[in-house]
Amino acid sequence: MMRKILVIGAGKSTSYLLDYLLGKATTENLHITIGDINPAAIPTSIANHSHCTVIGLDIFNDTERKDSIAASDLVISMLPAHFHIKVAEDCVQLKKHLVTASYVSPQLLGLNDKVKENGLVFMNEIGLDPGVDHMSAMQVIDRIREKGGKIILFESFCGGLVAPEHDNNLWNYKFTWNPRNVVLAGQGGTAKFIQEGTYKYIPYHRLFRRTEFFEIEGYGRFEGYANRDSLNYREAYQLQDALTIYRGTMRRVGFSKAWNMFIQLGVTDDTYSIENSENMSYREFINLFLPYSPTDSVELKLRHYLKLDQDDIRWDKLLELNIFDQTKVLGIPNATPAQALQKILEDSWTLKAEEKDMIVMYHKFGYELDGEKKQIDSKLVVTGENQTFTAMAKTVGLPVAMAALKILNGEITTPGVQIPISKEVYEPILKELETYGVNFKEYEVPYLGYNPNSVIT
């Protein structure tokens, strides 16, 4: 009997996901239905596959959405996180399994009892970060505990970056996932973590000036800034006794200090709209945030405002983005400052067809065993193939697809709204990911404790 999977949303992270499922469609007896608001954008190589059907699907159309879900055995939602709840409620009502790569929302968690009652698996946070980070961290944490060890330190960083061979701008950065999320990074709450037993907080206006530094062997030096709430997973990972818990985002050194210029200008704000933005040049947009002067140029006002010398590398980074160009027009009606900034950055930071991205992740585990403090460093580097088959799409899409198939095959059976922190989930998926080149390398190193300038090799 044909097993039916509905994939809702076919954005940038679905190339490997769809390839994986369609590649196994014959042997696993699968039929994949792809529901998207823009079905014409689905590549013909996928749309014409004998085990695939592409449909136009508006998730706000209740009839369309429910009929599509009812016709499936399992639903994969690759929609923006705030849209999952509509799909999830239908999946409960229609008794269908659900897989997403997004963080578990309070609304979704509120369905947990009903999901369990119906014997359903709602697997979430099964992409990269969150996802691969959970699975790889829990694999090491469980192994340490099985030996009798006690976790006293856990740090985890992940970054979507450009591969070294295509790292050709001064920011050492290009978009490898949703640009909007990059522009809004760090907003919506103060970063919270714990260091050596002391709670620490970093407000948004200081977030990109409090960074850690480390090296990844063979790839050079990186920096990391704190995620919004590093303590979210203290209970899930059972790290209540850990003295240091810190989760963050990785960039090349110098990115955060330069990004802080946009925060100080106010151009990352997404709370109000700009009048006449559709006709506004990049130069006019930047000038909105600078003091009036009848004589000084926009360039001079900005340098004074940000206290930049002409030989400051950050000034060169701004020039590289063409933000003073009078001929480039935003073309976005009622744009927020963040939307306008995103448009400017996409001009410079979009991967070209042949360019490759890179995922870098590292974990640091400090633990006590037999009265001795020890440390394990675990790192991952994955390089993409091109603009479509990116490292981001691989590390997000493959775990989603693998989890979906393992749920259908009865290999993952524990019901409920969950994240991939149990052996039932992480062991088989991490093992299969290795066959696709997603391999962590582990190193036993002397215990360093918390050290913001530590070198990870």
Under the banding of pLDDT at 50, 70 and 90, the label for residue 451 is low
Nearest alpha-carbon partner for 143 in 410, 363, 359: 363
b (16+ CB within 10 A) / e for 355-393: bbbbbbbbbbbbbbeeeeebbbbbbbbbbbeebebbbbb
Report which of residues 170 and 176 the model is more confident about: 170
3-123: CATH number:
3.40.50.720
Task: Write down the pLDDT at residue 11.
Answer: 80
Q: What is the pLDDT of residues 72-84, one digit of tens each?
A: 999 999 988 888 9
What is the average per-residue pLDDT within 118-136? 95
Q: Which residue in the block uniquely carries the two structure tokens 């060890």? A: 149
Q: What pLDDT band is residue 456 in, cutting at 50, 70 and 90?
A: very low
**In the CATH scheme, what is the code of domain 132-258+353-390+437-445?**
3.30.360.10
Q: Rounded to whole angstroms, how far apart are CA atoms 214 and 164?
A: 17
Cα of first residue to Cα of last residue in the chain, in angstroms, is 50
**Mean predicted lDDT score pLDDT of the chain:** 93
With residue 161 as reference, give the H or E element that holds it: strand 150-162
Query: Which residue, 182, 442, 169, is CA-closest to 313?
Result: 169
What is the arithmetic mean of pLDDT over 143-147? 96
CA dihedral 388, 439, 369, 232 (to 10 degrees): 10
How far apart CA 19 and CA 206 sit, in angstroms, is 42
Query: Which residue spans within 163-299 are E strands per DSSP?
Result: 191-195, 198-202, 211-216, 220-226, 244-252
Per-residue pLDDT tens over the stretch 230-250: 998 899 999 999 999 999 999
Q: What is the pLDDT of residues 267-322, one digit of tens each?
A: 999 999 999 999 999 999 999 999 999 999 999 999 999 999 989 999 999 999 99
Q: How confident is the model at residue 453 (pLDDT cuts 50, 70, 90)?
A: low
Provide the pLDDT confidence category of residue 455 given band limits of 50, 70 and 90. Answer: very low
Percent of the chain with pLDDT over 70: 98
**Predicted pLDDT of residue 450:** 59
- pLDDT score recorded for residue 225: 95
The answer, yes or no, to whether residue 139 has pLDDT greater than 80, is yes
| 8 Å CB contact between 13 and 177 | yes
The identity of residue 173, as a single letter, is Y
One-letter amino acid at 19 equals D
Q: In the numeric block, which tokens belong to residue 349?
A: 């930071």
Quickly list H helices, 30-149.
Answer: 44-47, 62-70, 84-94, 106-109, 112-117, 132-146
Residue 457 in this model has a pLDDT that exceeds 80: no
Structure tokens at 357: 């991205």
41 pLDDT tier (thresholds 50, 70, 90): confident
Helix, strand and coil content of the chain, in percent to the nearest 5, comes to 35, 25, 40
Domain ranges of the chain: 3-123, 132-258+353-390+437-445, 273-335
Query: In 3-state terms, what secondary structure has residue 374?
Result: strand
Give the residue-averaged pLDDT of 367-394: 94
